[in-house]
Chains A and B, each alone.
Chain A
Amino acid sequence: MMNMIRQIFPYLHPLMTKPMIHLCQKDLPVGILAFVCGCMIASHVAMSPAFADPANAKSRSAESSNETDATLQPLSKRFANKDTAEVPDFQKHVIPLLGRLGCNGRACHGSFQGRGGFQLSLFGYDFKADHDALLDAASGRVDVDDVAESLILSKPSDADLHEGGKRFDKGTWQHHVLQQWIKAGATHDANTIHELNRVDISPAEILFSDKGETVKLTAIAHWKDGSSEDVTELCRFSSNNDAIAEIDNTGRIQSGGRGDTHVVVYYDKAVIPVPVIRPVGASIQSIASQPKHSIDRLVKQKLDKLGIVPSGLCTDSEFIRRASLDITGILPEAEVVRQFLADDSVNKREELIDGLLASPGYAAWWATRFSDWTGNSDEQLTNVLPIRNAATRLWYEWLRARLQKNVPYDEIIEGIVTAENRQPNEDYVSYCETMTQACKPGNEKLFAERDGLPIFWGRRNFIKPEERAIGFAYTFLGVRIECAQCHKHPFDKWSKNDFESFSKLFTPIRYNANLVNKESKQERQELLDAITNGEKLRGGDLRRAVQKSAQQGKTVPFGELIFDDSNIKRLRKTQAQAQRKRGKPRAIKIPTGKILGVEELVPLDVDPRDALMAWLRSADNPYFAKAIVNRVWSNYFGDGIVSPTDDMNLANPPVNQPLMDHLADEFIRHDFDLKWLHHKIVTSETYQRSSETNTTNLMDRTNFSHHVPRRLPAEVVYDAVILATGSDQHAEKIRTDLNQMAIAEGKPKRRNQQDFALEVFGQSIRESNCDCDRSDAPSLLQSIYLRNDADMHKRLSDKNGWVAQACSELGVAGPENSPEPRKAASRKRAESYRKQFLLRVAQYQKLSVEKQSGAKPQLQRDYNRMNAKLKSMKLDVPKLSKLLKDRNAWPELNAPNSIKAPVKTIRELIEEAYLRTLSRYPEPEETEISVSFIEESKTPADGMQSLLWALVNTKEFILSH
């Protein structure tokens, strides 16, 4: 189908090899046109007032622009004639023009080594550097004395001279603009950067009804000084999905396939996304039934625009499985599923949600997710604490305890951002005592009770100010600012300056294992001396000695987080001295930094972290609440309202802005109550949609119109396999003591020492400031693991496994008792050794007491020999003394475990198997298939094992659906 349509409508596509042949519809044979109309073109869409009709876009924008009189005309009009007296502005005109012409692109002069001896800042906005580069006599780009000789005039207008080809013709407005600027002295005042208030784009939103329609955008810049100007010709343009909307470099948009996306306009600092929609079906205008739940209402508003009908609600068994896995990361128990399905109360879904949010699994699983975002990586925490392998456990427990108590999100983050290593009024030695205690496995609670998480600041990849700027923005803002480290951020307003000023905030914060407050240096040395007995130890030797002392219960010294203002103090001291000498105060320069997007300078003579925190939690912070709302949302939907979840930028707007704003505002209004947020999302119908699609939402993967199946996260899969295959008793133990579960960080995570399965299923490495450190993509190795890994075989045949339990309930031999032939033979041999030796013991016991003492050494030797043989078969033998007391203390080796009377039927067990894996009852057909499979198997145990194997290997098991 797609091919056929493309043959009929080959549209301009940069990736297409074929030359573009633009067929108008009227060129088509009538029959084909009718066919195309039937399948491709939805019925005419009524315009909602918010949207511009492409056909009328021009007239509308002219009418609505009241500022026309004041607005300067475009440069192409003002500079059409070379005799104009106007002098273009370097920031407003020259740099954007160079950008538009492509000069400062990565492939050209924006390259880090420049091109042809001339370098511009990538994407502009480093005005001083660009001005210097242009006026550098050696580059010859601008020659004020001989204007025509300026290379920025001659090169781009002559294809032969210029490796980058011809960019404009002589005599064009572009030529005039550059020429006029040079003529007037090629000036730029580095001290006055013009402040751009906003850029108005019209139309502000675009609704297409058909393929191949076009709209041209207009951009009016409004400056702080009140002036405004048509800058359309100076903007760059891009499309976020050119299969839906293509945009050329003049701002002309052409519609493509159905769906919605944004085109993006760039000018000066501004990055403006413009929504473009081409509805999938007829737009829906049902005022009658507005959903009660605000999420549903806002999602529906968007779907209505798109003409998408959402799927219906999922079934109860889908719901309990989905909600349990998403909220707690734990597969629901068979019995709980059974009760939930039988429950006929109206509120049962909400009750289930409340129960799950109150359960320990919630805190355990979400502390793992928070650990991802905050970067709790063993690898990066090496040597942050003097005691090994403790930091990640402490970090995790600190988060878990807070989530369990539902501490407001901003308060949790405050404990990280403004963390101090000591409690109020705590002395250094007491701090070290508590920390030494807390590092012992099982004592993590001692650390969780403390106010702060200072080790966040000690990670190896979070030391340099620029690393902290990047990591801070990633964790708390969901923003990737690293691009601005080297050049103007291509998708946001951040300039290199913004990045640098932001980084500076982090310079005075220091933390490592060897650092302590000045006043405590002596105490630290005393603690060390007690460990080393005065010996001079260094590096690894010292670390080992400290480690050993801690194990012996001695208090060891810990590092401290320090606000380092020694430089400023030194300056003040010199100032005071100078003042005493000359009697004249001399101003000293206090270093400053800037919070992202905030004008005010933050002086660094006080710890800037309080200011940072105040900014984070202020109601008008544009990122803080949205970042967490978006991450929580993506846990429930597989994708964020902004996607990727850690890449909020101007060019990447939310798929549903009102929804994002609403949730973030309400979250703040509810005092950053995380459970409120979870509850809000999970109680919506939007969350509870079925994965079955209809014709309108089949292709939708971004607007939350149906449940999109996704692979369960690594830890959840890992635990689910263990719970599904373990006996009721074993599974119950794991569920009660969450500590062994992967979702509760129960498994090691060091690089190259990760649990194999967790690695294969894409557990987060928490190292690169990216939510993509976690992967939910399937792979061949995952399939191989679930089908054939030794782990899996062991779990299915384990004596603590569910198959063993089921066999016992069925009154048949379990998998342990039907071992493979070689194993069976060795058991047989072992059993004969046992019998022989017990006979030997019996003979010995018949001897008189005197004779026994003579025969004892021989008996002991016989015992040792026999014991060695059985040990090689991995079998344990009771002690000889025990056997002498009671020969029955050693039961028969190949005896089947006492087979009990059957208490369940095969059908009941099949039902149980379905409930404990897929959280639903089997269909009658599935039961029949399973029954006959088990009956045809060699033994019932074999059959049950294979059935459980198959259920764990279904897509239904591995997916959230």
Chain B
Amino acid sequence: MKLHRTCDGMQRRDMLKAGVLSLGGLTLGNYMQMAHAGQVQPGRADRAIFIELPGGPSHLDTFDMKPDAASEYRGSFNPIPTNVPGIQISEHLPKLATVADKFAILRGVSHTLAAHRLGREYVNTGSKPIPALEYPGYGSVLSKEQPSETEIPSLVAVPKAGQGAGFLGIRFAALETNASPNYGEPFSVRGISLSGGIGIDEVQRRQNLLKKLDRRFAKLEKNDQLLEGLDKFGDQAYSMITSARAREAFDISREPESFSRQFGEESFGQSCMLALRLVESGVRLVSVQLGGWDTHTDNFSRLKDNNLPKLDAGLSGLLKGLEQRGLLETTAVFVTGEFGRTPKINSRSAEGGRDHYPRCMFMLMAGGAVNGGQVIGESDDNASGPRHEGISPDDVAASFYHNLGIDPTMEYDTNTGRPITLVRDGRIIDELFS
């Protein structure tokens, strides 16, 4: 196990302290008790789409606006009403404003890790990073707990995974597409379609031969993650190559234009549509990334001209599309950056920017058992911290797992036999599901 050190000097002791301070975590025992007593609603979703906004999107300019704050906080954007009375979001998210009934906004989400990598690891796993081991991302947990049929990958990342499989091991890592689909162009992941005049029969014969010849490391395989991973990927590659279903799932050109148009023409929107097709064909979790949120300078023009229109079209298209296909009920959607941004606008560039700010951020949840059209949590007057008790990334992670029918308090053993709770400090946010 490689020891990862960070400038934050994250130490195990920090975990201890966190454990002492937050007594809200459910233990397996009381989760079961509550489940039996009907207090914990089992999730309805059996698949998920995780949208990561790396860089850290500004909460004040999107889903947690403070029109009454002083100008050095407020910024230049105005709020607009949504289709849910009382909920307002940024004027640069007009399409999302028409589907606000389909998602829940979490405000006043709060943590302490202001570095990109650590923050991402945190929101991608629901556990505060520690040096001694790496936690698995949501998709890797889902791949382990509820794997898809072998011909379909359990976990697909478009284009790259934000988080690895951590201590679960490389065999639960994502299939990364390495490229994003473009509007109106066919999309295929290289190597999945048969070529070179090789038929299915020949592929099968070859696979049988390989199984017979690849025996050298048989003895070592159990104890070596690398060998085990290679085997697993090999088997899966074989199933995918021989399956028409897998190939077709990636081919977004099969969608009628009337459907694909509502995702917008940007690559992010088309990635959302790809995600939809993939979960429809049985992939357990698809992660999609939209970057460019690290707006230390020129915060407003960058958001207005670039990021917000992309997010608006892609995410609204996704929520509508899921509903049209009858998938919203079974697909848990989770949208998050790694932190919010400083409420006070800095003066690094003429129009100002905002810096890293983990104390206050927003997240979005939709699908499955989530009740859309509501705001949970609240930030203070300047959105500089939660107004009351904040929501932690752990809480949201626990709720996401819960929505997927995975007990967030389940325990794993690492390969050194160390017991690890999936989400140790998370409290399921009941309001999401009520």
B240 & A17 in contact (Cβ 8 Å cutoff): no
- Residues of A near B202 (CB, < 8 A) are 942, 946
**Other-chain residue from B196, B217, B409 in contact with A956 (beta carbon distance below 8 A):** B217
Q: How far is the CB of B19 from chain A (nearest CB, A)?
A: 6
8 Å CB interface, A888-937 against B: 926, 929-930, 933, 937
20 new A-B contacts at CB < 8 Å, known A242-B12, A759-B178: A15-B421, A16-B421, A238-B13, A243-B417, A482-B7, A490-B8, A698-B223, A709-B224, A756-B190, A778-B226, A779-B173, A780-B236, A781-B178, A784-B240, A784-B241, A788-B203, A788-B237, A790-B195, A946-B209, A953-B210
Q: What residue in chain B is nearest A792 (Cβ atoms)?
A: B196
Q: How far is the CB of B191 from chain A (nearest CB, A)?
A: 4
A203 to B216: give the CA distance in the assembly, Å: 46
A819 to B7: give the CA distance in the assembly, Å: 59
- Residues of B near A785 (CB, < 8 A) are 190-191
A954 & B210 in contact (Cβ 8 Å cutoff): yes
- Does A2 make an interface contact (CB < 8 A)? yes
- Does A783 make an interface contact (CB < 8 A)? yes
Q: What residue in chain A is nearest B194 (Cβ atoms)?
A: A788
A797 to B230: give the CA distance in the assembly, Å: 25
- Does B23 make an interface contact (CB < 8 A)? no
- Does A111 make an interface contact (CB < 8 A)? yes
A784 & B191 in contact (Cβ 8 Å cutoff): yes
Known A-B contacts A3-B413, A793-B198, A949-B206; the reply to A783 vs B236 at CB < 8 A is yes
- Residues of A near B210 (CB, < 8 A) are 949-950, 953-954
Q: How far is the CB of B312 from chain A (nearest CB, A)?
A: 26
- Does B350 make an interface contact (CB < 8 A)? no
Q: What residue in chain B is nearest A796 (Cβ atoms)?
A: B196
A961 to B196: give the CA distance in the assembly, Å: 31
Pick the most buried of A106, A698, A785: most chain B CB atoms within 10 A of its CB.
Answer: A106
Q: How far is the CB of A265 from chain B (nearest CB, A)?
A: 13
8 Å CB interface, A1-53 against B: 2-3, 5-6, 13-18
Pick the most buried of A710, A783, A926: most chain B CB atoms within 10 A of its CB.
Answer: A783
Known A-B contacts A780-B237, A956-B216; the reply to A241 vs B132 at CB < 8 A is yes
Q: Which are the 8 A-B pairs with shortest beta-carbon distances?
A: A793-B196, A490-B9, A820-B197, A483-B7, A2-B417, A783-B237, A783-B233, A784-B191
Q: How far is the CB of A927 from chain B (nearest CB, A)?
A: 11
A947 & B209 in contact (Cβ 8 Å cutoff): yes
**Other-chain residue from B5, B6, B421 in contact with A17 (beta carbon distance below 8 A):** B421
- Does B37 make an interface contact (CB < 8 A)? no
B175 & A490 in contact (Cβ 8 Å cutoff): no
**Other-chain residue from A16, A691, A698 in contact with B419 (beta carbon distance below 8 A):** A16
8 Å CB interface, A687-729 against B: 691-693, 698-699, 709-711
Which residues of B does A touch, CB under 8 Å? Answer: 1-3, 5-17, 19, 21, 25, 27-28, 112-114, 132, 153, 170, 173, 175-176, 178, 189-192, 194-198, 202-203, 205-206, 209-210, 212-214, 216-217, 219-220, 223-224, 226-227, 229-231, 233-234, 236-238, 240-241, 342, 357, 359, 409, 411, 413-414, 416-421, 424
A257 to B416: give the CA distance in the assembly, Å: 8
- Residues of B near A709 (CB, < 8 A) are 217, 220, 224, 226-227
A797 & B196 in contact (Cβ 8 Å cutoff): yes
- Does A74 make an interface contact (CB < 8 A)? no
Q: How far is the CB of A788 from chain B (nearest CB, A)?
A: 5
Q: How far is the CB of B415 from chain A (nearest CB, A)?
A: 9
**Other-chain residue from B191, B213, B421 in contact with A789 (beta carbon distance below 8 A):** B191
Q: What residue in chain B is nearest A238 (Cβ atoms)?
A: B11
- Residues of B near A113 (CB, < 8 A) are 342, 357, 359
A950 to B208: give the CA distance in the assembly, Å: 9
Known A-B contacts A490-B9, A759-B178, A797-B196; the reply to A955 vs B16 at CB < 8 A is no
A interface size (C-beta, 8 A): 92
A780 & B233 in contact (Cβ 8 Å cutoff): yes
- Residues of B near A652 (CB, < 8 A) are 3, 5
- Residues of A near B206 (CB, < 8 A) are 946, 949-950
A5 to B216: give the CA distance in the assembly, Å: 32
A487 to B6: give the CA distance in the assembly, Å: 12
Known A-B contacts A112-B114, A709-B217; the reply to A823 vs B197 at CB < 8 A is yes
- Residues of A near B209 (CB, < 8 A) are 929-930, 933, 946-947, 950
The segment from A148-156, A642-650, A826-834 that touches chain B is A642-650
Known A-B contacts A113-B359, A490-B5; the reply to A955 vs B240 at CB < 8 A is no
| Count, A-B residue pairs, CB within 8 A | 226
- Does A591 make an interface contact (CB < 8 A)? no
- Residues of B near A946 (CB, < 8 A) are 202, 205-206, 209
B417 & A5 in contact (Cβ 8 Å cutoff): yes
- Residues of A near B216 (CB, < 8 A) are 954-956, 961
A955 & B132 in contact (Cβ 8 Å cutoff): no
Q: Can you list 16 A-B contacts (CB < 8 A)? A: A6-B419, A17-B27, A18-B27, A106-B8, A113-B342, A238-B12, A239-B12, A241-B1, A243-B132, A778-B226, A778-B233, A784-B192, A946-B209, A959-B230, A961-B216, A961-B217
Known A-B contacts A240-B3, A955-B231; the reply to A17 vs B114 at CB < 8 A is no
A239 to B3: give the CA distance in the assembly, Å: 10
A953 & B214 in contact (Cβ 8 Å cutoff): yes
**Other-chain residue from B112, B212, B417 in contact with A111 (beta carbon distance below 8 A):** B112
- Does A123 make an interface contact (CB < 8 A)? yes
Q: How far is the CB of A664 from chain B (nearest CB, A)?
A: 22
A486 & B5 in contact (Cβ 8 Å cutoff): no
A788 & B191 in contact (Cβ 8 Å cutoff): yes
A257 to B21: give the CA distance in the assembly, Å: 28
Q: How far is the CB of B30 from chain A (nearest CB, A)?
A: 10
A794 to B191: give the CA distance in the assembly, Å: 13
A779 & B176 in contact (Cβ 8 Å cutoff): yes
Q: What residue in chain A is nearest B358 (Cβ atoms)?
A: A111
Q: How far is the CB of A654 from chain B (nearest CB, A)?
A: 13
Q: How far is the CB of A99 from chain B (nearest CB, A)?
A: 11
- Residues of B near A793 (CB, < 8 A) are 195-198
- Does A445 make an interface contact (CB < 8 A)? no
A692 to B213: give the CA distance in the assembly, Å: 19
A198 to B103: give the CA distance in the assembly, Å: 58
- Residues of B near A239 (CB, < 8 A) are 12
A788 & B241 in contact (Cβ 8 Å cutoff): yes
B214 & A955 in contact (Cβ 8 Å cutoff): yes
- Residues of A near B424 (CB, < 8 A) are 15, 17
**Other-chain residue from A107, A647, A710, A949 in contact with B5 (beta carbon distance below 8 A):** A647
- Residues of A near B191 (CB, < 8 A) are 781, 784-785, 787-790
B417 & A711 in contact (Cβ 8 Å cutoff): no
B237 & A243 in contact (Cβ 8 Å cutoff): no
A240-271 toward B: CB 8 Å interface, digit per residue (1/0)?
11110000010000000100000000000000
B175 & A780 in contact (Cβ 8 Å cutoff): yes
Known A-B contacts A105-B14, A482-B7, A779-B173; the reply to A15 vs B420 at CB < 8 A is yes
- Residues of A near B223 (CB, < 8 A) are 693, 698-699
A955 to B223: give the CA distance in the assembly, Å: 15
- Does A491 make an interface contact (CB < 8 A)? yes
- Residues of A near B190 (CB, < 8 A) are 756, 784-785, 789-790
Q: What residue in chain A is nearest B156 (Cβ atoms)?
A: A780
- Does A651 make an interface contact (CB < 8 A)? yes
A572 to B429: give the CA distance in the assembly, Å: 69
Q: What residue in chain A is nearest B173 (Cβ atoms)?
A: A779
- Residues of A near B241 (CB, < 8 A) are 784, 787-788
- Residues of A near B12 (CB, < 8 A) are 14, 238-239, 242
- Does A165 make an interface contact (CB < 8 A)? yes
**Other-chain residue from B9, B17, B219, B417 in contact with A257 (beta carbon distance below 8 A):** B417
Q: What residue in chain A is nearest B211 (Cβ atoms)?
A: A950
- Does A760 make an interface contact (CB < 8 A)? yes
A345-377 toward B: CB 8 Å interface, digit per residue (1/0)?
000000000000000000000000000000000
Q: How far is the CB of B235 from chain A (nearest CB, A)?
A: 9
B7 & A490 in contact (Cβ 8 Å cutoff): yes
Q: How far is the CB of A39 from chain B (nearest CB, A)?
A: 13
Q: What residue in chain A is nearest B212 (Cβ atoms)?
A: A929
Q: What residue in chain A is nearest B411 (Cβ atoms)?
A: A17
